[in-house]
A and B are shown apart, each in its own frame.
Chain A
């Protein structure tokens, strides 16, 4: 049980001239929830497919639970939720659980039953007749039904309504409390923010940032609007090193601050401020700043 749950070393995958994943070094520790963020096409799914030996790396290596993702003994301890769960539409949730349960060799039918109940699934209905959200639930149930040590989740909550997203979050937290590791790939930030302790941000196959969620929040951009009783002048704020953007709109001063807001508050203290409107630090802003301002010179 020692060593990281996932470890990649200079993992690279090229499809023809396209480099889908480039020199990826990841280390996911046991028991943590690791967020793997990036826009669509950044190489997230390709990474997962290499971890599970669906595609072979062009160079570099990867280790999953101390072994190879091709090894059945390793796969038995992994729960995989693909972005879409394409199975025979005539299968029922029960067919799927029976089939995968037989392949995995050990089954906990009480736990399977509990999962089906928690996600309010009728196990006897063909998957093809289910709505997108319900199919998603079948995917979640099959990924968790053998209490895996490592969950690899690709866009897990897309298509789930808020109530079920909540149920999903509770389930994942439960599994993590029991010692599971979660590799959570997503382009939607709130689902990662709600679960992950650490995130890597992937862009065009390259990790552009890897940090703890709190650390990322610290460097996150905050939007502050100041409503004054006099016409606003952005100049003193624009001069501050932490202010990325300062604009005036009548008596309204709009600021984008990176990191600490201390200097902004001190400067504002001299002004007749009527109202302060802040927009909570959102990972999306962090994400977008990496996405839009770092033109990493790759083509």
Chain B
């Protein structure tokens, strides 16, 4: 794992800053919970909002916004946190091959006694490792800071881990897409832009589609639906939220890995 270790070392400083930012976001969100939990009018206000808006902030009528699970889902798990993880994941996935190749740094590496297959596999593993590390920081910070603020009341450890894992799986999927595009094209631009467009586009479709009844089945194909179909903190993990994105990630990795070995370097 020499190649993977090198990539982890090269990105350790940037990842440390991301970890600090993630932890700060969690602590800040949790710290605000005591101020929200007694305000029943938030709940009433939300009930008057259009459904598309409620969808967008992850509101679920079965889980009150003032409950810990409702609050964390709306303020963290369905909004800011996945955006953070997707941005980081897409960046890591694009850097694995596309970014390295575009800067010309791949060729000197490949002049060493390593196969392309090994470099492509190890750098994918390293990107996944970096993202997972960020996920662990997120979950651990939430577990540690949530209890004193009462923001974890009624949320089992299993549900907390499941929600973090599902969010991570969503980010892994976009990371894998960025990786596959970078590995197939050797360019960083499209391997960042396309997954970002996919994430934003599918998010908009997911949040607006419920209004068009006839198109509802389309939702089932959306990664955001797998992840947001229910409040995992309150209701547990739907298996598809892990299995579907990870299976697709496996396919994307295989495509990128194979394409990278067949083509000319740029």
A contact set with B: CB distance below 8 Å: 49, 52-56, 70, 72-73, 75-76, 78, 80, 82, 84-88, 90, 99-100, 102-105
- The minimal Cβ–Cβ distance linking A38 to chain B, given in whole angstroms, is 20
Residues of B contacting A70 in the complex (Cβ-Cβ under 8 angstroms): 115-116
Q: Are B264 and A54 in contact (CB under 8 A)?
A: yes
A133 to B115, CA, bound (A): 30
Task: Tell whether, in the assembled complex, residue B114 and residue A72 are in contact, meaning their CB atoms are under 8 Å apart.
Answer: yes
Q: Mark B109-121, 1 if CB is under 8 A from A, else 0.
A: 0111111100000
**A90-B10, A105-B113 known; A80-B264 Cβ under 8 A:** no
Q: Which of B104, B111, B115 contacts A78 (CB under 8 A)? A: B111
CA distance A72 to B10 in the complex (A): 24
Known: A52-B107, A70-B116. 5 other contacts (CB 8 A): A70-B115, A76-B113, A80-B108, A86-B104, A103-B113
CB atoms of B103 and A99 under 8 A apart: no
- Judge whether A55 and B2 touch: CB under 8 Å: no
Chain B residues contacting A84 (CB-CB under 8 Å) are: 104
- Asked if B147 is an interface residue, CB under 8 A from chain A, the answer is no
B interface residue count range (under 10 / 10 to 19 / 20 to 34 / 35 or more):
10 to 19
| A103 vs B108: C-alpha distance when bound (angstroms) | 12
Check: B47 CB closer than 8 A to any chain A CB.
no
Residues of A contacting B107 with CB < 8 Å? Answer: 49, 52, 54, 82, 86
How many A-B Cβ pairs are below 8 Å?
Answer: 55
| Interface residues of B, Cβ cutoff 8 Å to A | 2-3, 6, 10, 103-105, 107-108, 110-116, 264-265
CA distance A99 to B104 in the complex (A): 17
CB of A55 within 8 A of CB of B115, answer no
CB pair A55 B108 closer than 8 Å: no
By a CB distance below 8 angstroms, the chain A residues around B115 are 70, 72
Closest partner residue, chain B, to A80 (CB atom): B111
> Is B6's CB under 8 angstroms from A99's CB?
yes
Nearest A-chain residue to B115, judged by Cβ:
A72
List chain B residues, Cβ under 8 A from A76. Answer: 112-113
Identify which of B107, B110, B112, B115 gathers the most chain A CB atoms within 10 Å of its CB: B112
- Please give the distance in Å from B136's CB to the nearest CB on chain A: 25
Contact partner of B110 (CB less than 8 A), chosen from A54, A56, A104, is A54
| Contact between chains at A54 and B113 (CB < 8 Å) | no
B264 proximity list for chain A (CB < 8 A): 54-56
A49 CB contact (under 8 Å) in B2, B105, B265: B265
Tell me the smallest distance from the CB of A287 to a CB of chain B, in Å.
28
**Can you report 13 A-B residue pairs in the complex whose CB atoms are below 8 A from each other?**
A54-B264, A55-B264, A75-B112, A78-B111, A82-B107, A86-B103, A87-B108, A90-B10, A99-B2, A99-B6, A102-B2, A103-B3, A104-B113
Give Cα distance in the complex from A53 to B114, angstroms: 12
Specify the chain A residue showing the minimal Cβ separation from B6: A99
In the bound complex, residues from chain A placing their C-beta under 8 Å from that of B2 are 99, 102-103
The docked-state distance in angstroms from the alpha carbon of A102 to that of B264 is 26
**With A and B bound together, what is the CA distance between A140 and B10 in angstroms?**
23
Nearest chain A CB to B187 CB, angstrom units = 15
Q: Which 10 A-B pairs have the closest CB atoms?
A: A86-B104, A72-B113, A76-B113, A80-B111, A55-B264, A103-B112, A75-B113, A54-B265, A102-B2, A86-B105
